[in-house]
Chains A and B, each alone.
Chain A
Amino acid sequence: MFSKVAINNRGEVAVRIILACQELGIKTVLMHSDVDINSKAYRLADETYCIGPAPTNESYLNQQAVIEACKKTKSEAVHPGFGFLSENANFSQLCEENKIKFIGPSAKAMRLFGDKASAKKVARELKVPTLLSFEGELGQLEAEAKKIGFPLMIKATAGGGGRGLKIVKNEKEFAETLESAQREAKSSFGSGSVFLEKYVGTAKHIEVQIFGDGKGSAVHLYTRDCSVQRRHQKVIEEAGEVYISNTLKEKLYADAIRLAEHCNYEGAGTVEFLVEGDEYYFLEMNTRLQVEHPVTEEVLNVDLVKAQITTASTQVMPWTQSQLSVSGHAIEARIYAEDCYNNGMPATGKIGFCKWPEGPGRRFEVGFEEGDEITANYDSMIAKVIVKAESRKQALQKLKVVLEQTIVFGLPTNIPLVSEIIKKPEFISGDMKTTFFAAHFSEGLENPELTQEQVDLVGQLKFKVGEISQSNITTASPWSSKVWGQS
């Protein structure tokens, strides 16, 4: 087992990895940018090492700096978390060349599935259903687009994770969208290479968690439903009672395992599919730990991060397929610092008082505490709320209560938005598709007014908290209290 592991990440996942290491008796070194000093991960890590200034390409994406830091701190392995360098084959290779164990799959597996067009080719070779697509010559794209039919998607081959996607509604828009897709792909991912894919607008996003031993064997850890997405970014994820047929599930498991075993996959990975009725299509394979891994952990009673670390050290899988069985249902809501009454505009600033309502079946992955600052350098996710219960119905009720009891002061959060999402009949029935969010929430939320009772409460609070003198309370209230964003 490793005696020291470096963590090249931040926020709640850095905390997650540190805690797993601590439980395994492994010393932790947090690689961080200069602004991430005021964070829970920084405070928890045994050692910390500043790898660069705030901009990600100068710190978390700075491969040389990370390698240097691992050497200086004598870290035997590095856990890349998700995002950043977690799916960077060159970095994985660089680690190997420097005798540092990269906790994750091989560079070969990452290259195979990192290129989204190559991933589809592999899927087809392995007889996994894929969406009709064309990954060939630029010059042929326009002709092939007509064959595929509109609407269709133009996808960046170096993209993934919901980025580098453009929808083309009709033939007229094709040329312009293609040009802009290539430009964006080049600047976002370093490569302007794109491919075409049939667009399936209304489907369920179902993914299979897999885990491999790096020697050709893999197991599946069942499915997750991540259909609630805002512009391809997941907001709510679930595991347990996933509402697709058992026949379909067995096919997804088998296909996912086949893909993983094909490239001697090591560690945790996820195969994403679109499910439309009885049909399913391979979307992509993510060769890393995913944000939503906790819901799988909750219904299977496993620790995926500890598994990643131990398998990286021993090349042995911690479980056999027969040891893995689903019990109950878990739901995760991502909590972002954003103004949901103003188009989801991300909020920056200091976090105030927080209260995460602990209790049975309630799990909080928190990256920041009171006094920490959220800056505009990184995404504004501050925490994840995960609930587990015996059934989906009970889990929904638990989530509703947890969201009502969660308090975050100082920055607005998307909690009101999540609360509204889980009230929708389509969500309660479990029927929601990828069109769900846009159908109900494209215009954002209405800023609620306070009731008179609440206005009176404000008056009393202000007196107690020390803002105004006693006499002002008796005058007619001139305050129009609104929720953040209006002030």
Chain B
Amino acid sequence: MKYLIDGKHIYAQKINGALWFHVDGKTYKHVDESQIASASSAEVNVDFIKAPMPGKIIKVSVKSDSQVKTGDVLVIMEAMKMEYKLKAGRDGIVVIHCKEDDAVSLGQDLVTFNEDN
């Protein structure tokens, strides 16, 4: 866990192929470029938005068949007393699979992009 580098003790740990380390008062996570392609998150997998956790849809900001741009807020959901804005990871025409007040489970499809574009 503690490594001596250039006379300084640095805490570091390899977890699931990522290198976590703490230096100059901050914690960092480093992942090789080659591994980035296989990672997934609500934004990296751009062709859909899945619920990142179980919760409730508070607001759907766009209708199906609307044109959206990268970064547009599409859905706002609530979980554990917090509100989360789910944004478009790409431009395109969206298909909305949820509505206000829906209870959603982890990984549930909320928004997909129309195949035609």
Cα-based distance from A483 to B24 in the complex (angstroms): 14
Min CB–CB distance A400 → chain B (angstroms): 9
Among the stretches A62-70, A216-224, A404-412, the one at the interface with B is: A404-412
Which of B11, B22, B54 has a CB less than 8 Å from the CB of A377?
B54
Q: Which of B19, B27, B31, B87 is the one whose CB lies under 8 Å from A461?
A: B19
Contact B19 A460 (CB under 8 A): no
The A430-487 residues at the B interface (CB cut-off 8 A) are: 448, 450, 454, 457-458, 460-462, 464-467, 478-481, 483-487
6 sampled A-B residue pairs with Cβ under 8 A: A187-B103, A231-B83, A346-B82, A410-B13, A458-B19, A483-B26
Q: How far is the CB of B41 from chain A (nearest CB, A)?
A: 7
In the complex with contacts A352-B20, A378-B80, A410-B20, A183-B27 CB distance below 8 A: no
Interface size on B, residues (CB 8 A): 49
State in angstroms the CA–CA spacing of A230 and B82 once bound together.
Answer: 8
The answer to whether the Cβ of B100 comes within 8 Å of any Cβ in the partner chain is: yes
Across-interface contacts of B11 in A (CB, < 8 A)? 353, 355, 407, 409
Interface status of B33 (Cβ within 8 A of chain A):
yes
* Choice from A161, A343, A405, A479 contacting B84 with Cβ under 8 Å: A343
A352 and B15 in contact, given A183-B100, A346-B53, A454-B23 (Cβ under 8 angstroms): yes
Asked if residues B3 and A464 are in contact (CB atoms below 8 Å), the reply is: yes
Interface status of B35 (Cβ within 8 A of chain A): yes
Bitwise interface map of A from 194 to 222 toward B, beta carbon under 8 Å scored 1, else 0: 00000000000000000000000000000
CB distance from A284 to the nearest CB of B (A): 15
Residues of B within 8 A of A409 (CB): 11, 13, 15, 20, 22, 27
Contact: A376 with B56, CB < 8 Å? no
Asked whether any CB of chain B lies closer than 8 Å to the CB of A76, the reply is no
Pairwise interchain contact B19-A465, C-beta atoms closer than 8 A? yes
- Report the minimum CB–CB distance from B106 to chain A (whole Å): 5
Q: A428 at the A/B interface (Cβ < 8 Å)?
A: no
User: In the complex, what residue of chain A is closest to B51 when comparing beta carbons?
Assistant: A376
A352 lies within 8 A of B83 (CB): no
The 4 closest A-B pairs by CB, nearest first: A404-B25, A487-B31, A379-B80, A409-B20
Interface residue from A183, A450, A479 paired with B32 (Cβ < 8 Å): A479
Contact between B80 and A380, CB atoms less than 8 A apart: yes
Beta-carbon contact of A345 and B5 below 8 Å: no
The answer to whether A350 has its CB under 8 Å from any CB of chain B is yes
Is B63 among interface residues, defined by CB-CB distance under 8 A?
Answer: no
Minimum C-beta distance from A389 to chain B (A): 19
CB interface residues, B 20-57, toward A, < 8 Å: 20-33, 35-36, 39, 41-43, 52-54, 56
Chain B residues contacting A462 (CB-CB under 8 Å) are: 19, 30
Rounded to whole angstroms, the CA-CA distance of A59 and B19 in the bound complex is: 36
Closest residue of chain B to A338 (Cβ to Cβ) is B82
Q: Could you give, for residues 372-415 of chain A, a 1 whenever the CB lies within 8 Å of some chain B CB and a 0 otherwise?
A: 00001111100000000000000000000001110111101101
CB-defined contacts of A342 to chain B, threshold 8 Å:
41, 43
Which A residues from 155 to 176 make CB contacts under 8 A with B? Answer: 161-163
Taking a contact as CB atoms under 8 Å apart, the answer to whether A410 and B83 are in contact is no
Judge if A416 is at the interface, Cβ distance under 8 Å: yes
- A416–B28 alpha-carbon span in the complex (Å): 11
CB atoms of B81 and A481 under 8 A apart: no
Question: In the assembly, what is the distance between CA of A343 and CA of B26, in Å?
Answer: 19
Neighbouring A residues of B81 by C-beta, 8 Å: 161-163, 233, 379
For the complex, what is the distance from the CA of A378 to the CA of B55, rounded to whole Å?
Answer: 10
Complex contacts, B23 vs chain A, CB 8 Å: 454, 457
- The listed residue with most B CB atoms (<10 A of its CB), out of A345, A348, A355, A380, is A345
User: A486 to chain B: which residues have CB within 8 Å?
Assistant: 36
If A407-B22, A410-B15, A487-B36 touch, whether A464 touches B5 (CB-CB below 8 Å) is yes
CB atoms of A345 and B52 under 8 A apart: yes
Within 8 A of A (CB), among B73-99: 79-85, 87
Whole-angstrom distance from the CB of B15 to the nearest CB of chain A?
Answer: 5
Asked if A184 lies at the interface with its beta carbon under 8 angstroms from chain B, I say: yes
Residues of B within 8 A of A465 (CB): 3, 12-14, 19
B3 neighbours in A (Cβ, 8 Å): 461, 464-465
Q: Does B10 contact A (CB under 8 A)?
A: yes
Do residues B14 and A376 form an inter-chain contact, with CB atoms below 8 A? no
Residue in chain B with minimal CB distance to A348: B53
B20, A344: Cβ atoms closer than 8 Å: no
Name the B residues within 8 Å of A98 (CB-CB). Answer: none
Complex Cα spacing A185 to B41, Å:
30
Distance A424 CA – B83 CA, assembled complex (angstroms):
24
In the complex, residue of chain A having the shortest beta-carbon distance to the beta carbon of B17? A467
> Is A188 interfacial (CB-CB < 8 Å)?
yes
Is the C-beta of A180 less than 8 angstroms from some C-beta in chain B?
A: yes
Kindly report which residue of chain B lies nearest to residue A186, judged by CB atoms: B101
A444 nearest CB neighbor, chain B only: B85
Given contacts A409-B13, A461-B21, 17 further A-B contacts (CB under 8 A): A184-B101, A187-B103, A188-B56, A233-B81, A233-B82, A342-B43, A345-B41, A350-B15, A379-B80, A416-B26, A450-B28, A462-B19, A479-B32, A481-B28, A481-B30, A487-B35, A487-B39
Closest A residue by C-beta to B42 = A345
Residue from A180, A404, A416, A458 within 8 A of B30 (CB atoms): A458
Contact A466 B15 (CB under 8 A): no
Bound Cα distance from A410 to B30, whole angstroms: 11
Are B82 and A231 in contact, with the CB atoms below 8 A? Answer: yes
Contact: B26 with A458, CB < 8 Å?
no
Contact at A458–B21, with CB atoms within 8 Å?
A: yes
Given A350-B15, A376-B53, A457-B10, residue A344 in contact with residue B5 (CB < 8 A):
no
